[in-house]
Structure 1
Amino acid sequence: MKFAVLGATGPTGQEFVKEALDNGHSVTALVRSPEKLTTNCDRLKVVKVDIFKEEDLVEHFKDSDAVISCLGCRPSFLGLSPITFYTDSIKPIAEALRKANRSRLICMTAACTKSVPGNPFIIEWVLKPLFLGKTLKSMSEMEDYLDTKCSDLDYTVVKPPALKNAESTGALVKTSEGQYVAEGTGQITRRDVAKFMLSCAVDRLWIKKLVAVSS
């Protein structure tokens, strides 16, 4: 398959690029800073783009079987700075998919973007107030936008808990439709998330779904 990957220089994006290439796929990495992606492969193309300009994305989406977004931004400490990154970025991505006549999008947010009964205490009462509140709010708004404005797209939203840098565990990823995996560990390796996102693309899994994952 051919993938257009957004956020390919980020820690999870780099893992997806490696996973896709290791499995024989082709990748076009659409990035702001090409020099940050050091992977070398004849099936990898690196292109500098502005992700907020749909005209930068359309031509590259046309050549892809699926668009993978591992985009992310830094959290706002103590909620002092507004975050609209996820809300702002999904709109040009969705429009570029339509103009490219493509529909498959797999993107990543996080577990517990919405407050629901059973959410882990540490997320609701520690991480949200101090670090993640506005980040998760913007992610939640992105999820709502896909749900209400993108019924024409075959999207999948992958929602991991805490991410760690380590080799794949090799174990089956636990999944649950919704906000979090109740029986999960509360963390997962970035490589396992990448493997799961790739499987969603190859096997057309979890279409028009929000799927929480965990190890």
Structure 2
Amino acid sequence: MKITVFGATGGIGRLVVAQSLDAGHRVTAVVRNPAKLTLAHPALTVVTAELTDSDAVTEAVGGADAVISALGPSLKRSDTGSPVTDGTKTIVAAIQTAGVSRFIGLATPSLADPRDKAHWKHKVLPVMARLAFPNALAELENMTAAVTGSDLDYTIARISAPKDKPATGRIRSGFLGHDRIGSAMSRADIAAFLITQLTDSRYHRAMPAISN
């Protein structure tokens, strides 16, 4: 498959790129600073673009079978503005213009999926996030709404406590109140889950929570 990856130089994004290439996919990695992506591969195309450049973003997703976004907001309490929300809106518009339908992205259990049942995370996590990272939570809410409010075939994986540990191959996924989902998860396993969603239709237009 041909995949366009945003957030390709982040902790999860670079793993998405590497694992996708290992799986035999062709990857277009959209980056702001190409020097941060040290990987070289004959099936890898690196595109330098700002998410404010709608023409460049549209060109980057052209011909893709799917788009994977590993974008996430800054957790600095002092940060303001909505760069990730605005960037996600640009990506969604570009995907629609390019005629691509499949979008795979990230959020957190601070946001609920309609398939969830009542769960303590719905009460505790949004309060904690609003106190500790108010702008980040607003970004997560708005960037997710930009996707779920579209007609895209999306899957948004809700993650918490990502760790820089080796992949375990043990991935739990489902909906809060229904399935046994923990919190911690290696970034390598998060990347692996995102890639499996290229061909897995279980979570069509859904936001599964995932963990190790």
TM range (shorter): 0.7 to 0.9
Structure 1 residue 211 corresponds to structure 2 residue 208? yes
Cα displacement (A) at 1:182 = 6.5
Question: Any conservation in 2 of the 1:177–1:209 contact (CA below 8 Å)?
Answer: no
Question: Any conservation in 1 of the 2:26–2:44 contact (CA below 8 Å)?
Answer: yes
SS of 1:142's partner is helix
Partner residue, 1:159: 158
Unaligned runs of 5+ in 2: 113-117
Partner residue, 2:186: 189
Cα displacement (A) at 1:159 = 0.9
Partner residue, 2:115: none
- Give per-residue Cα distances to partners, 1:38-85, cap 9 Å, x unaligned: 1121111111011122211112212211011001232132xx443423
SS of 1:119's partner is helix
Cα displacement (A) at 1:191 = 0.8
Partner residue, 1:118: 120
SS of 1:108's partner is strand
Question: Within 1, Cα distance between the matches of 2:99 and 2:180?
Answer: 39
Letter in 2 for 1:186: S
Letter in 1 for 2:157: V
- Root-mean-square deviation (CA), in Å? 2.3
- Give per-residue Cα distances to partners, 1:22-52, cap 9 Å, x unaligned: 1111111010001100112111111101112
Cα displacement (A) at 1:176 = 2.0
Structure 1 residue 91 corresponds to structure 2 residue 93? no
Question: Any conservation in 2 of the 1:175–1:181 contact (CA below 8 Å)?
Answer: no
CA distance 1:81–1:14, shift in 2 (3 Å): closer
Partner residue, 1:41: 41
Question: Within 2, Cα distance between the matches of 1:59 and 1:140?
Answer: 27
CA distance 1:94–1:125, shift in 2 (3 Å): closer
SS of 1:203's partner is coil
Question: Any conservation in 2 of the 1:181–1:214 contact (CA below 8 Å)?
Answer: no
Question: Within 1, Cα distance between the matches of 2:50 and 2:178?
Answer: 34
Partner residue, 1:139: 140
TM-score with structure 1 length normalisation?
0.87
Question: Within 1, Cα distance between the matches of 2:191 and 2:162?
Answer: 11
